[in-house]
Structure 1
Amino acid sequence: MHNQLSQHLQVSERTLEKLVAAGKFPPPLRIGKRVVWASDVVEKWLGCALTKQREWVPASSRRRNVI
């Protein structure tokens, strides 16, 4: 699952590990040697991470509002 998740997020496994260690990504559930994440938790994190991108306004649009 670790490898599948890193591919889904398009980051390396090491980057995923660093995000978890830094508290920037939800910790996994460890089942024996397996490491798993609930898909709804991952999608929630992704939605939160993309908020700034979704709210982004092009610079040209911002300039029109400046007087």
Structure 2
Amino acid sequence: MTVGDISAISGGLFATGAIFILLIFSLLSFGILRMFQHKIRTGWFSFAGAVVSAVAFGLILNQWFV
């Protein structure tokens, strides 16, 4: 395993990635929590929000950073 050079990553890309990763995984964990609480509809809405956030993240990366 070698050390990678991350000096080419901009601050905007780092902030965008951090925000969307926190958003996606928090929605996924909230959905799992709601499923365990037997609030099935709210859980599915959280899962759908995570999918929509992931798609939006992909589109933003493709549009602004690629």
TM-score range (shorter-chain normalised) is 0.3 to 0.5
Q: In terms of Rg, which structure is larger?
A: 1
- TM-score, normalised to structure 2, is 0.34
Greater helix percent: which structure? 2
Q: Which has the higher contact order (CA 8 A, sep 6+)?
A: 2
Greater strand percent: which structure? 1
